[in-house]
Amino acid sequence: MTLLRLSPLALSRSRFALSPLAETFGSMLVLSKPCTDPWLTAWHTRHHGSLAAALESDPFASGLVALLGSTKWIPEFIAGPPPGGMRTRIADELTVLSRATDDEVRAGLEKSLAHSWKPHDLSWLSGHRLAARVAGLLKSVWTAHVAPDWPRRRALLERDVMYRAGLLAAYGWPRALQHMTRRSAWVGTDAIRFTHHNGPDLIVSDEGMLFVPVSCSTGSWLCAAPPNHYALVYPARGTAATSRPTKPTGALARLIGTGRAAILQELDQPATSTELAAQLGQSLGTIGGHLAVLRDADLITGARVGRRVVYRRTATGDLLAAQQPTGTPAPETGQDPSMRSA
């Protein structure tokens, strides 16, 4: 197995971040194949055809997507740690990507080919300003296919970060990292396993690691940049679940009321009162009243994370909510990690 080793200082400085570029990259690969992600089915149906047509007319883009969709090595010029934390902009990430030299692009993609499970002809990898062409492709995918859906996705990603930040505050990094990816796990007192494949340990710089959720429910990868800066991209919680009934029915709603039952159901994923109000289409005052009753009944609990209070169900709340049909969750899946993929 391969370990990421963190000093106490690196651990204390590790944090969460968002990456529109990672979201775009993952979405591009999802769109290029048949959809297996229930959370993205409607989006995939709307956008798959137009991306397929764009790739068919551009041999460079088609070859690049085919290679990156069938490899266990994502080149560093694409997989870089996001520079702006939770406020990272894709324009800034694409600027960094565009600085890669032609030699760096070719070397990275040749390494991707060496770790691909399919044969590829790299005759499309010719000419100059290769990084700018890659950046142009990703920018077009962002603009046409991801940006219109970004508010919905960002809300889901921020919700995952708040959930894990709550675990971090209460229990520390081992609990916050639990089930982040299929292979990741805390090892000993100073290391994170991110793949079962054997390789040299990676030493994280004292600036700490970044943990970056994406909305695709499969696949994860490691981003790297010198000197020893790393970011682990992982699927956000909740992306593999099928849609739930919009209005609770049955015994739970009759017992505690439809509004409170809806909140208890929505807290499958921890959330703030503002997120619950937006998700359920109710006022903050109404949500606040329901939360107070549920908290007094020991069905939920709240924990302060920064300036926000994140609510989650208690064990009693979980037992009660289990009686409410909420749809069947899809099995957790993920691509087999290796090398730069986690």
Q: Verify that 85 and 168 share a domain, yes or no.
A: yes
Q: Count Cα neighbours of 125 within 13 Å in the Cβ-side half-sphere.
A: 20
Q: Verify that 189 and 284 share a domain, yes or no.
A: no
Determine, yes or no, domain membership for 272.
yes
Range of the domain at 189: 2-235
Contact (CB, 8 A) for 186 and 174: yes
**Stretch 255-275: mean pLDDT, rounded?**
85
DSSP assigned state of 326: -
What value does the mean pLDDT of the chain take? 86
Contact (CB, 8 A) for 172 and 223: no
Q: What are the tokens at 162?
A: 């708040």
Determine, yes or no, domain membership for 242.
no
CATH code, domain with 312: 1.10.10.10
Query: Per mean pLDDT, which range of 137-141, 217-221, 286-290 is the poorest?
Result: 217-221
**Stretch 311-315: mean pLDDT, rounded?**
86
Q: Verify that 62 and 91 share a domain, yes or no.
A: yes
Q: Verify that 230 and 272 share a domain, yes or no.
A: no
Return the pLDDT at 54. Answer: 95
Q: Which of 11-20, 277-286, 304-313 has the highest mean pLDDT?
A: 11-20
Find the distance separating the first CA and the last CA of the chain, reported in whole Å. 11
Q: How many domains does the chain have?
A: 2
Contact (CB, 8 A) for 308 and 162: yes
Q: Verify that 111 and 258 share a domain, yes or no.
A: no
Task: Give the span between the Cα atoms of 193 and 267, in whole angstroms.
Answer: 29
Closest by CA position to 199, among listed 339, 6, 337:
339
Query: Per mean pLDDT, which range of 181-190, 238-247, 303-312 is the poorest?
Result: 238-247
Task: Give the span between the Cα atoms of 231 and 225, in whole angstroms.
Answer: 9
pLDDT at 15 over 80: yes
Q: Verify that 177 and 303 share a domain, yes or no.
A: no
Determine, yes or no, domain membership for 302.
yes
Of 190, 210, 235, the one marking the end of a domain is 235
Rounded to 5°, the CA angle 332-162-296 comes to 100
Of 186, 202, 235, the one marking the end of a domain is 235
- Count of other CB atoms within 10 angstroms of residue 251: 12
Query: Which helix (H) or strand (E) is 159 found in, with range?
Result: helix 150-171
Determine, yes or no, domain membership for 150.
yes
Q: Verify that 306 and 195 share a domain, yes or no.
A: no
Q: Verify that 126 and 20 share a domain, yes or no.
A: yes
- What DSSP assignment string belongs to 234-245? EEPTTTTBPPPP
Q: Which amino acid is at 231?
A: A
Determine, yes or no, domain membership for 337.
no
DSSP assigned state of 271: B
Q: What are the tokens at 325?
A: 């049909």
Determine, yes or no, domain membership for 45.
yes
Q: What are the tokens at 104?
A: 């760096």
pLDDT at 307 over 80: no
Determine, yes or no, domain membership for 342.
no
Task: Give the span between the Cα atoms of 66 and 111, in whole angstroms.
Answer: 14
**Stretch 81-90: mean pLDDT, rounded?**
95
Q: What sign has the CA pseudo-torsion 301, 304, 307, 310? A: negative
pLDDT band of residue 113 (cuts 50, 70, 90) is very high
Contact (CB, 8 A) for 156 and 236: yes
Q: Verify that 141 and 283 share a domain, yes or no.
A: no
Q: Verify that 229 and 262 share a domain, yes or no.
A: no
Full strand arrangement of the beta sheet holding 210-214: 15-16, 210-214, 229-235, 221-225
Q: Which amino acid is at 307?
A: R
pLDDT at 240 over 50: no
Of 235, 259, 283, the one marking the end of a domain is 235
pLDDT at 135 over 90: yes
Determine, yes or no, domain membership for 220.
yes
Q: Verify that 10 and 133 share a domain, yes or no.
A: yes
161-191 pLDDT, tens digit per residue, is: 888 887 888 788 888 887 788 778 888 888 9
pLDDT at 159 over 90: no
Task: Give the span between the Cα atoms of 277 and 283, in whole angstroms.
Answer: 6
Q: Verify that 94 and 133 share a domain, yes or no.
A: yes
